[in-house]
Copies of this chain bind each other. A is one copy, B any other.
Amino acid sequence: MAHHAVTFDVSANPVTVQTGTLLTEAAQKAGVEVTQPCGGQGRCGRCLVRVTEGNIRRRSTLRLSAEDVAEGFALACQAVVEGDATVSVPPQEKVERRLSTDRTVAQVTVPLGYNYLTDQTVRRVTLDVSAPTMDNQTDDWSRLQNALSRTLTQDGETKGAGLAPGSSLLSLQVSLPLLRRIGRTLRDGEWQVTATLDLADRRDGRPSARLIDLQPGQVTEETPLWGVAIDIGTTTVTVWLVDLISGEVRAQAAEYNGQISRGEDVISRIIYASKGHGDDEMRDLVVESINKLIQRASKRAKVDQADIVKATIAGNSTMMHLLLGIPAESIRLMPFVTAVNSIPVFRAAELGLDLHPEATVDCLPGVASYVGADISAGVLSAGVDDSDQTSLFLDIGTNGETVLGSKEWLVSCACSAGPAFEGAGVLYGMRATRGAIEEVWINGQTYEPNYRVIGEVKAKGFCGSGLISLLAELFLNGILDKAGNFNHLLPTKRIRRGEHGLEYVVVWADDSDRGEDLVITHVDVDNLLRAKAAIYAGFTVMADSVGFPLEAVEQVLIGGAFGKYINIEKAVEIGLLPDMPWDRFYFLGNTSVLGAYRALLVQADRDRIQAIAGRMTYIELSADNSFYDSFTSALFLPHTDLRKFPSVVKELEQIERQRDPAIADQGQGG
């Protein structure tokens, strides 16, 4: 057999290998590390290399576009050496970014062009108040108001907050506790004070300010002004601590919603809250969760919580009602209406939030009982409402809400998915934090798994993206059949009967942070199937009901807190997402908190959320008989109707062929 010299750009010395050697083997010989999470099956695409000179044969071009091939890209595990070659091994992160089906969740960026002076409703101004004299005995409060009107209007462009020069403040609202402090503060500051105001209440362009705080003296320009964007998910509560002047997120914190111990879904929470003092208990639990996160984020950013002067809250309608202590029973009962969708602004002290007691708390508006503020905020942050393109927006959380539409129209629906994709309701499920397995690949011959852990530490459990990945791998490799049953006949110790029935061991105790085997059980699989079936049935029935063909959707925008990397292919393989070209999918992360963050900063975005809530039509799925049928059909992997998943069918065939390498070589040789 002929020998060929293969040179890797990351290694000084070329290696000599026989014809037919795989590039992964050559790399190993050269001491070059090439990642192969899928065990060299050519499925994960992580062993992407670029052949800059010479010749190789690609056994498979799965994951490679025509352009990729033209540029010399190849999968090392599927590249057969047939002559001398020079190979470039890109850094792993570049590979990740290049792989079209692995979408890193959008990074949080300050809204484009954010300007505290024009966008923010909370304003801090230093005021030089005229001191009283025997000739001018005007009261303190009038002096303060006069100084404020003067300061706010003296420079309409830069200090106006929408106040035209010369226009005056309509009124200055103040709470009694704050009013009690005015006189002392004015004198402590020797008539120079810094006022923190909320100018959100604008009527006919003349703002009515609310005084949030008054401090003696002036503060430096650099002193930040703090806000928090809060998302109350049924399963997960998220808090972002935001510098309102720069617009930057300074700390993020997320944790399970304390209410989870009283029921996993909104229905059981409502029932719990409606009994005895359940409502108080529910309120206390979520307030405690939020306060814990505010404290954690504040500590991390070294911020005094009492300096946080504004909060926006997104969350589904049930979460919002429970937070406010408003009875939520009507959400659960026919005809399923909320007590309130557009919630008035309250002060932090009224809600028990550990912020400045006068902090503005703006609970964002929802649409309906099962399409809450998390969705109106999500639609904003996903940009569905101002796009020419028709988008399908999916918020994959405990409640699977879906929005379909564009700048012209918006419809929405919801279904109960359960908390599986947030890592709850699954034995070793966890949130997407350090120690969570976020991606899994299983070797089709050995059934041995390969996985990636967030933070590159020992694994503790699986986050949502890890579970999607795991479920897909178990299915594709025949460990699970299409009905979700484990094949206990396969030659591997990893499939075994455990406490909860059949299970698959992903991590042996030795490698686990918990010191015990990390498994996925039959019950877990059932929960995941039900979750994905509900979501899939939701958007398909909704699209049908408005007569919009799903394949005409131009972009699929996905929100949810699964993890940082979500593999579209795998989500399609399990039948969670529709089978469409991968470039139409965008993973946006927690769109709800993102929307709350935008509303926290930019008043125009806050107004847009209100407009979204106003114009979005809600479709009640429970009124649609076809929903249950669709749900049942979707309980399979990927679906009972395989015609809906042509790419998965093709892939299954390809795997079948790969089981016999001879067939594979013939079929894919090029």
In the complex the two chains form, what is the Cα distance from A180 to B204 in whole Å? Answer: 30
In the complex the two chains form, what is the Cα distance from A142 to B366 in whole Å? Answer: 12
- Asked if A340 meets B184 with Cβ closer than 8 Å, knowing A140-B330, A203-B170, the reply is no
Number of residues in A with C-beta < 8 Å to the partner? 47
- Asked if A337 meets B140 with Cβ closer than 8 Å, knowing A176-B350, A325-B180, A327-B184, the reply is yes
Interface string of A132-172 (1 = CB under 8 A from B): 11101111111000000000000000000000000000100
Interface string of A97-134 (1 = CB under 8 A from B): 00000000000000000000000000000000000111
A178 to chain B, nearest CB (A): 10
In the complex the two chains form, what is the Cα distance from A623 to B135 in whole Å? Answer: 10
**A553: interface (CB < 8 Å):** no
Residue of B339, B351, B368 near A182 (CB, 8 A) is: B339
Stretch at the interface among A341-349, A385-393, A483-491: A341-349
How many copies of the polypeptide does the oligomer hold? 2
For A135, give the chain B residue with the smallest CB separation.
B335
Interface string of A592-614 (1 = CB under 8 A from B): 00000000000000000000000
Report A273-315 residues with CB < 8 Å from chain B CB. Answer: none
Q: Cβ of A340 and Cβ of B139 under 8 Å apart?
A: yes
Q: Cβ of B339 and Cβ of A140 under 8 Å apart?
A: yes
Which residues of B sit under 8 angstroms from A174, Cβ to Cβ? Answer: 344
A528 to chain B, nearest CB (A): 31
Report A610-639 residues with CB < 8 Å from chain B CB. Answer: 618, 620, 623
Which residues of B sit under 8 angstroms from A183, Cβ to Cβ? Answer: 326-327, 329-330, 339
**A402: interface (CB < 8 Å):** no
Q: Cβ of B350 and Cβ of A139 under 8 Å apart?
A: no
Q: Cβ of A369 and Cβ of B325 under 8 Å apart?
A: no
Q: Cβ of A340 and Cβ of B140 under 8 Å apart?
A: yes
For A369, give the chain B residue with the smallest CB separation.
B137
Which residues of B sit under 8 angstroms from A138, Cβ to Cβ? Answer: 337
Residue of B141, B184, B338 near A341 (CB, 8 A) is: B141
Which residues of B sit under 8 angstroms from A337, Cβ to Cβ? Answer: 132, 137-140
**A179: interface (CB < 8 Å):** yes
Which residues of B sit under 8 angstroms from A142, Cβ to Cβ? Answer: 340-342
For A184, give the chain B residue with the smallest CB separation.
B327
For A187, give the chain B residue with the smallest CB separation.
B330
**A324: interface (CB < 8 Å):** yes
In the complex the two chains form, what is the Cα distance from A203 to B170 in whole Å? Answer: 9
**A548: interface (CB < 8 Å):** no
Q: Cβ of A137 and Cβ of B340 under 8 Å apart?
A: no
**A66: interface (CB < 8 Å):** no
Q: Cβ of A134 and Cβ of B179 under 8 Å apart?
A: no
In the complex the two chains form, what is the Cα distance from A340 to B351 in whole Å? Answer: 28
A214 to chain B, nearest CB (A): 12
For A339, give the chain B residue with the smallest CB separation.
B183
Report A355-389 residues with CB < 8 Å from chain B CB. Answer: 368-369
Which residues of B sit under 8 angstroms from A170, Cβ to Cβ? Answer: 203
| Residue from A139, A174, A344 having most chain B Cβ neighbours under 10 A | A139
**A336: interface (CB < 8 Å):** yes
Which residues of B sit under 8 angstroms from A134, Cβ to Cβ? Answer: 334-336, 620, 623
**A52: interface (CB < 8 Å):** no
**A268: interface (CB < 8 Å):** no
| Residue from A142, A338, A350 having most chain B Cβ neighbours under 10 A | A338
Residue of B180, B344, B620 near A179 (CB, 8 A) is: B344
**A173: interface (CB < 8 Å):** yes
Q: Cβ of A176 and Cβ of B137 under 8 Å apart?
A: no
Which residues of B sit under 8 angstroms from A336, Cβ to Cβ? Answer: 134, 137
In the complex the two chains form, what is the Cα distance from A326 to B175 in whole Å? Answer: 12
For A183, give the chain B residue with the smallest CB separation.
B339
A542 to chain B, nearest CB (A): 16
In the complex the two chains form, what is the Cα distance from A138 to B335 in whole Å? Answer: 10
Q: Cβ of B140 and Cβ of A180 under 8 Å apart?
A: no
Which residues of B sit under 8 angstroms from A137, Cβ to Cβ? Answer: 335-337, 368-369, 618, 620
Which residues of B sit under 8 angstroms from A140, Cβ to Cβ? Answer: 330, 337-340
For A174, give the chain B residue with the smallest CB separation.
B344
Residue of B176, B329, B343, B620 near A324 (CB, 8 A) is: B176
Q: Cβ of A326 and Cβ of B179 under 8 Å apart?
A: yes
In the complex the two chains form, what is the Cα distance from A340 to B184 in whole Å? Answer: 12
For A340, give the chain B residue with the smallest CB separation.
B141
In the complex the two chains form, what is the Cα distance from A369 to B184 in whole Å? Answer: 16
Which residues of B sit under 8 angstroms from A325, Cβ to Cβ? Answer: 176, 180
Which residues of B sit under 8 angstroms from A340, Cβ to Cβ? Answer: 139-142, 179, 182
For A201, give the chain B residue with the smallest CB separation.
B171
Residue of B141, B204, B351, B369 near A204 (CB, 8 A) is: B204
Which residues of B sit under 8 angstroms from A351, Cβ to Cβ? Answer: 176
In the complex the two chains form, what is the Cα distance from A532 to B301 in whole Å? Answer: 66
In the complex the two chains form, what is the Cα distance from A78 to B369 in whole Å? Answer: 90
For A346, give the chain B residue with the smallest CB separation.
B176
> Can you offer 7 A-B residue contacts whose CB atoms are under 8 A?
A132-B335, A140-B338, A142-B342, A173-B344, A180-B325, A183-B330, A183-B339
Residues of A within 8 A of B (CB): 132-134, 136-142, 170, 173-174, 176, 179-180, 182-184, 187, 203-204, 324-327, 329-330, 334-344, 346, 350-351, 368-369, 618, 620, 623
Given contacts A137-B618, A142-B340, 9 further A-B contacts (CB under 8 A): A134-B336, A134-B620, A137-B369, A140-B330, A142-B341, A176-B324, A180-B324, A182-B326, A182-B340
9 pairs of A and B residues whose beta carbons are closest in the complex: A141-B340, A183-B339, A139-B341, A139-B338, A132-B337, A134-B335, A140-B339, A132-B335, A137-B337
